[in-house]
């Protein structure tokens, strides 16, 4: 399985990070250990949303859609509003 996920910073609550991985648990641990340069300064992070896909190409397309389509990002923010810090 491949996962598209959204992380939120506990330090900067308006900051969200969108990514995808085939091992969400391991990837999330790497983020919070400071091993990922793009999120290191925003730690600690919370997983606020994820979607599962069978194929890598589907997950990659969805990640791209969320990152590059502000309307899609706003729809997701509304959907997960209660999960956000």
Q: Domain holding 65: CATH number? A: 3.40.1440.10
Please indicate, yes or no, if residue 18 is contained in any of the structural domains.
Answer: yes
Q: What residues make up the domain containing 18?
A: 2-79
Q: Provide the residue-wise pLDDT of the chain in tens; the chain has 85 residues.
A: 999 999 999 999 999 999 999 999 999 999 999 999 999 999 999 999 999 999 999 999 999 999 999 898 889 989 888 888 7
Q: Tokens standing for 40?
A: 């290191």
What is the pLDDT, as a whole number, of residue 20?
Answer: 98
CB within 8 Å of 13: residues ≥ 6 apart:
84, 85
Please indicate, yes or no, if residue 24 is contained in any of the structural domains.
Answer: yes
**Cα–Cα dist 57/54, whole Å:** 9
Distances (CA, A) of 67 to 58, 63, 70: 14, 6, 7
β-pairing, 16-21 vs 2-9, is antiparallel
What is the pLDDT, as a whole number, of residue 81?
Answer: 87
Please indicate, yes or no, if residue 84 is contained in any of the structural domains.
Answer: no
Please indicate, yes or no, if residue 74 is contained in any of the structural domains.
Answer: yes
pTM of the model: 0.93
What is the pLDDT, as a whole number, of residue 83?
Answer: 83
**Domain count within the chain:** 1
Please indicate, yes or no, if residue 29 is contained in any of the structural domains.
Answer: yes
């Amino acid at each position: 399985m491949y996962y598209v996920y959204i992380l939120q910073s506990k330090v900067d609550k308006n900051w969200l990070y969108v990514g995808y991985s085939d091992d969400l648990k391991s990837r999330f641990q790497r983020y919070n250990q400071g091993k990922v340069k793009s999120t290191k300064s925003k730690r600690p992070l919370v997983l606020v949303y994820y979607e599962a896909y069978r194929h890598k190409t589907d997950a990659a397309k969805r990640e791209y859609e969320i990152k590059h389509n502000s309307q899609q990002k706003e729809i997701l923010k509304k959907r997960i509003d209660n999960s956000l810090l």
